[in-house]
Amino acid sequence: MTRTILHIDMDAFYAAVEQRDNPEFRGRPLIVGADPKGGKGRGVVSTCSYEARSFGVHSAQPISQAWRLCPHGIYVFPDMDKYARVSGMIMRILADYTDMLEQISIDEAFLDVTGSRRLAGTGKEIAEKIKKRILGELRLTASVGVATNKFIAKIASDLKKPDGLVIVEPGGEKDFLAPLPIRRLWGVGPKTEQALKKIGIQTIGQIANVPLRDLERILGDTGSQLWRLSQGIDDRPVETTWERKSIGHEITFENDTADFETIRAALLELAEKTARRMRLEKVRARTVTVKFREEDFSTFTRRKTLAEAVDTAEKIFPVALDLMKGLFRKGVCVRLVGVAASNLLTNSGNGAQLDLFRRDSQKEQKLSEAVDDIARRFGDRSITRAALIPLNVHKKAKTPEGLND
């Protein structure tokens, strides 16, 4: 049976959620990321609205450059807890159409709806139903690609953003790919692209017409992979056992600092945010990692694996602080610090509940649940630790790429 694979990709997800929740942001260039500080800010753009993209702003761009391109834009800090809650609502909608669901990031997923066609309709009809529900229930738009495999569906979902729907019919994969630039192929980075262009290859169709042996001679094993993809061949299944590998946050200081108390306060805030995200997603962690970037951009990480899985700042922060003490050198200015939790276990998983019957752990758990409830009802900024109030931690942490893969 020919497979029917959908790739669902939310449009400018963080920015779209902010525009939905703040009517005054709608129709205006909105940049989600660090504080630009009038063009002198540190950090990067997490994402931006399509209005901002028209000025050349894009994700992972230095926030100072975004400011120069769009000084009249609206700049807001990421609210990762809120985005995670909305992501959960989206995934629950998708799960209504198939149990073959692979979430690959906070705002995108693959669905294998081959077995759902008899009851739910064609791939196109299922995609239309999903888009309609996301818009009607969550007031957000999604772009969807429908194809016979994951690779084609992923490319299709990106072609007509925002609010796009692209269907690639069985047998039409090679024709669909042929005019697209070679950088669309998975595995083609700047070096490979340059090597291919040197021999006159600029489109996927041109790669498809090169004999496999010639590509293997030029690019080795990569040549074989690119040739298969250029033919529209991708046999990978939708992996329903996908699990988040890590959860983390980091802070880029507005000014490089050598003050360890400032770094300590930042770690406490990061531990709190990371723990709250973990509880929201009902996971605990066995491994804590800290990240440390000096003023010259030298970057170091240290990690420690714990005897018990944890999900509170009271357990994460002391470990992070101890690891940071091993990295910090007196007199060295620090640009960025981060905290991540990995080696994750679900709360029903083996080892997840080992310390719940200790009195101190019970108190921590009740306190954390109370804090989570307040944050859900009144917003993430409605409650903070007293230790953070007098210390300007240069506000808000962002979720870095790679910590949530």
- How many CA atoms are closer than 13 Å to the CA of 154, on its beta-carbon side? 18
Phi/psi for 309 (5° steps) reads: -75, 140
Is there a contact between 6 and 127 (Cβ–Cβ < 8 Å)? yes
- Which of 18, 51, 102, 108 does the annotation list as catalytic? 108
Q: Using CA of residue 311, residue 312, residue 313, residue 316, what is the dihedral sign?
A: negative
Q: Does 170 sit behind a cis peptide bond, omega within 30 degrees of 0 on the bond before it?
A: no
For residue 56, give both structure tokens: 């050349």
Residue 259: which residues within 8 A CB-CB, separation 6 or more? none
Residue 170 — φ and ψ, nearest 5°? Answer: -55, 130
Residue 385 CA to residue 283 CA, distance in Å, equals 22
User: What is the spatial distance between Cα 137 and Cα 129, in angstroms, rounded to a whole number?
Assistant: 12
Q: Which residues pair with 300 in a beta bridge?
A: 292
Q: Which residue has the tokens 């669309």?
A: 184
The reply to whether 108 belongs to the active site is yes
Give the Cα separation of 127 and 111 in Å (integer).
10
Closest CA to 365 of 352, 378, 377: 352
Count of residues for the chain? Answer: 405
Residues with catalytic function: 108
